[in-house]
Amino acid sequence: MSSPFEFSPVKLVYGGEALGFHAGHTVLAPRVLPGERVEVEEVRRQKGVVFARPLRILQPSAERIEPACPYFGRCGGCQYQHLPHAAQVAAKSEILRETLRRLGPVKWEQPIPTHSGPAWNYRNQAQLKIGKPPDGAPGLGFYEAESNRLIDIDACPILSPRLNELLAVLRAEPWISELANGREVELVVDDRDEKIMMTLAGSWDAEEAETLAQKCLTELAGVATVAFTQDVGVRVFGESYLSYRVGDFAYRIGPTAFFQSARFLLPEFVEAVTAEVSGAVAIDLYAGVGLFTLPLSNKFEQVMAVEVHPQSTANLAANARAVPGRKIRAIAGTTFDYLRRSAQMDPDLVVMDPPRTGVGVDTLKLLLALRPKRLHYVSCNPSTLARDLAYLLQQGYSLDSLELFDFFPQTFHVESLARLSRIGRERA
């Protein structure tokens, strides 16, 4: 199929592509919509699936809209700007349901309530690449999809206004030359879209790093922390952490620590994960800097929070210390090791919010030996959620609700919350 061919996608699938069939093959193509007739060409073939690139839209869907960003289609960041926001949300809901059914199999026929916010300017973080775009001058921006070719961008419509202001300053002289020794600059802005933490990766020696850091701290409005990541550890100048408020709590976030990047939905998200639960013991696995841990401490006599990343662990411990009553135990290490060492304790609630790889059956086996009454599973990957839910349902848990958090409009990412409870726990 090296020459162009026509096909008509039937549905959107996880990852941003649309799926259809041609000449006995499954075809996946980006930036096309179900019901359209499109001309595509094959890019590669893997396990019989043809990955194709759209050449022309022969018959557009009635839903198709003009993408708002001039870099859409080249930049690897967004996949859905050609689809109205409401249709993106509906598609993600169906993708979640269908992925659970196909890969679990987990059948969920009830509604999937959706939490949605503004579709633009929603990110509080940006990982900007520094480099030379094909025209040669140093640039700042994002990589093209599936490549490390830089696209020099002047603004990104999904970043917060403050981050776009700083991007505009950094990509112009004199800053772009100051950054030329770098590979990446990460920006994180606080909940008020004011203070910024800047983390640079690249090859500056100690003296150059210090000079550059002082210049950033004095001349870049809002920049309060500048960090350099090195092979061994992180060097920090200015304030040692960014303070980010969600609901009643202010969280310390240090350079390289994980924090959620969707600024508008965070209070609603934390509320949903920690609502309608209380009791003696809660465990927050994959706790990060304690986003759920602190509100859980209002509802449980004791909260155990487990996190492996050194910077996140340090912030988690400090955030926990700030809660009166010392109800929180911050545990540094992997979830697996923590569970392996833990004796049966009948926790009332376990929250788990793993990375894209999910929790995995080996870790779930150890978890179930503790006999948790309720599980709140936050997932950023429906495929690994399907595998883990299928196991939990076989092991005596019921799926009570499934919700979608529309954290990342314009992109294919799907964030969800599954609440489960142990069947027959009242008699246990």
Ligand X SMILES: C[S@@+](CC[C@H](N)C(=O)[O-])C[C@H]1O[C@@H](n2cnc3c(N)ncnc32)[C@H](O)[C@@H]1O
Chain positions contacting ligand X, by CB under 6 A: 258-260, 286-288, 291-292, 306-309, 312, 334-335, 353-355, 380
The rounded distance, in Å, linking the Cα atoms of 120 and 157 is: 6
Decide whether 81 or 125 has the Cβ nearer to ligand X: 125
- Shortest spacing between CB 49 and ligand X, in angstroms: 29
What six digits make up the tokens of 102?
């196909």
Residue nearer to ligand X on the CB measure, 249 or 258: 258
The smaller minimum CB distance to ligand X, of residues 81 and 411, is found at: 411
Place of tokens 């300053």: 169
Tokens of 75: 């930049």
The strand ranges marked E within 47-181 are 49-59, 114-115, 125-131, 139-143, 150-152
Q: Specify the residue, 83 or 291, whose C-beta has the smaller distance to ligand X.
A: 291
Rounded CA gap, 211 and 83, in Å? 46
How far separated are the first and last CA of the chain, in Å rounded? 60
Q: How far apart are CB 341 and ligand X at their closest, in Å?
A: 13
Cβ 382 vs Cβ 99: under 8 Å: yes
In the bound state with ligand X, the residue whose beta carbon lies nearer, of 171 and 374, is 374
Please, what is the minimum distance in Å from the beta carbon of residue 63 to ligand X?
Answer: 31
Question: C-beta of 224: minimal distance to ligand X in Å?
Answer: 21
Closer CB to ligand X, 140 or 349, in the complex: 349
We find the least distance from the C-beta atom of residue 187 to ligand X, in angstroms, to be 18
Q: How many residues does the chain have?
A: 428
Which residue's CB comes closest to ligand X?
288
Task: For the CB of residue 335, give the shortest distance to ligand X in the complex, in Å.
Answer: 4
Q: Concatenated DSSP letters for 99-131?
A: HHHHHS-----S---EE---SSS-BSEEEEEEE
Residue from 91, 73, 78 nearest 33 by CA: 91
Q: How far apart are CA 148 and CA 157, in angstroms?
A: 21
